[in-house]
Amino acid sequence: MDRSTQPSFNFVNLKHPDDLKSEETQLRIRRLAMTEVGKARRKPKTTRERNKIILELRNPPEERLKLDRLSGGQTDPFSAYPIEMDSSARALLANIFSPNTNHASQLRGSWYPVGLSSAAAFHNVLSNSQNFIYQKHNGFYASQDDAVALKHHHKALRYAGEMVKDPVKLKSDETIGAVASFMCHHSLLGNFVSDDWYKHRNALVRILGLRGGYSAIDKEHLRITLTWSDLIGCFSQDIPPIIPLPSQWEADSKSPSNSPRPSRPISLAWKQQLPMQLDWVTIFDDIVQLLSLDRAFNEKQLVLAVTSGSWMEPTMYRLLALRPLQQGTNREHVIEEVCRLGTLLFLAPCWRILGQSPVWTAALSRNLLLVLMGNMVEWNELKPLLIWVLYFAAIETKDLAERSQFVFMLGVLMGSMQLQAWEDIMRIIKSVVWVDAVYEGSDELIRDEVMQIINQNSWATVPVDTQPAFWEDVLGDD
């Protein structure tokens, strides 16, 4: 057949139906249409198919990949949502799945289906999306909702109030998911001064009790979201979680029993020094093994992070549940508490790479500083652990005063150990546990300051009578 008689197709790719309102898009369509009209005038009008113009809506490849990771395939722009969608709501929804979004992808395959389950939860999803847009525009996360986010949050409160008042809906999956969405919303803001997060968690626990407990939740994505909503708030405040681990997370939190365990000298030293205090070191050994198996950042773990969770969530849970100082303030309890907090700070950047955002660590670094400044203990052969903790505390904290304290402590400790080269410091830190893909280049943040402290021996000039407990150990131990 002559090519002049072949049907002619022109495609206009759109990310969203609202793109049809764009003047640029409309102009392009008109140009294509007029081109086809011009061609038609020059052709015999015997075949109707010649002059067809096809307008097709397609998601870009990057968006399809992200949505496929949710096990939901492509998003239908005309699908039903629990609320009436206007252009603003559609823009907020599109932001969640945009290829260049800053919106958290962690566990999206679980919390997004929960968000679609009711108008209350969905309005919180949109409110959260607006807060991520705020961060993109301003460079920092808001501690309270702006006008757009507040509008959706108030609507979520109104719808949730109606659900709670209805005896039929009170114990439903939709109500439970809506309450969990409020916990996620307040965790995103990172503002726990008010009791809002606690009020919603207490309400969630009461409703679940009426429902028959956590085992009565048979939808996996909802069950995961419940623990997730508790976990992210607990991490931000450094408090123990109260919602139990889902069974799937319980299995993922520990290293495979049939795989070889990498040998870490510091782990052996711990078991020799503190043979009766094995809770933290057991978690540490699991982390080392899981990292050695490349289970942190390979493709499978990235997909799990978006859908049902990787090993990171249950590991964070285990560390938050561990409370050594509740058993006393003896040497072994203080050392274990310092290492617990240091490990959480070590894992925080890994969590971000897996898609969690924001990761609030202010409470962790503050608590660590309080423990170090208030307790005198001898670290002996476990000093590499203290160096490791101080390093990750110094590069993770956003508080300049705390950062100066951690940097100074690190310089004091290195000086007391007669270490003069930065390479020696990094060798000790990497001997504990290290991930190049996450921390490479991080030493540039503090290297010059630490070396200046070591070279000037400023640690030795601190008056003995003004030294906190931390210095008594470091300066008097060697």
Selection from 63, 134, 132 nearest residue 97 by Cα: 63
Q: What is the mean pLDDT of residues 449-453?
A: 91
Confidence of residue 19 (pLDDT cuts 50, 70, 90): low
Q: What angle do CA 202, 187, 143 make, to 5 degrees?
A: 125
Tell me which of 45 and 126 has the higher pLDDT: 126
Distance, in Å, from the CA atom of 340 to the CA atom of 440, rounded to the nearest integer, reads: 23
Tell me which of 140 and 474 has the higher pLDDT: 140
Selection from 363, 287, 313 nearest residue 104 by Cα: 313
pLDDT digits (tens, 9 = 90+) for 309-358: 889 999 999 999 999 999 999 999 999 999 999 999 999 999 999 999 99
pLDDT digits (tens, 9 = 90+) for 251-286: 777 777 776 677 789 999 999 999 999 999 999 999
Q: What is the per-residue pLDDT for 59?
A: 43
Selection from 104, 234, 115, 256 nearest residue 176 by Cα: 115
- Whether the per-residue pLDDT at 48 is higher than 60: the answer is no
The single-letter code of the amino acid at 25 is: T
How many of the other CB atoms lie within 10 Å of CB of 330? 14
Tell me which of 189 and 310 has the higher pLDDT: 189
| DSSP H or E segment with residue 432 | helix 422-432
Torsion, Cα of 107, 345, 185, 103 (10° steps): -50
Q: Which of 65-74, 318-327, 363-372, 374-383 has the lowest mean pLDDT?
A: 65-74
Q: What is the per-residue pLDDT for 213?
A: 95
SS3 assignment, position 4: helix
pLDDT digits (tens, 9 = 90+) for 392-405: 999 999 999 999 99
Greatest mean pLDDT among 46-55, 243-252, 290-299:
243-252
Q: What is the pTM of this model?
A: 0.81
Percent of the chain past pLDDT 90, that is, above it, reads 67
Distance, in Å, from the CA atom of 154 to the CA atom of 160, rounded to the nearest integer, reads: 10
Tokens of 219: 């939808």
Q: What is the per-residue pLDDT for 62?
A: 37
Q: What is the per-residue pLDDT for 471?
A: 46
Confidence of residue 60 (pLDDT cuts 50, 70, 90): very low
Confidence of residue 391 (pLDDT cuts 50, 70, 90): very high
- Whether the per-residue pLDDT at 34 is higher than 60: the answer is no
- The whole-chain average pLDDT of the chain stands at 84
Distance, in Å, from the CA atom of 342 to the CA atom of 359, rounded to the nearest integer, reads: 15
Q: What is the per-residue pLDDT for 14?
A: 61
Helices (H), 307-421: 312-321, 331-353, 362-374, 383-396, 400-416
Q: What is the mean pLDDT of residues 414-428?
A: 91
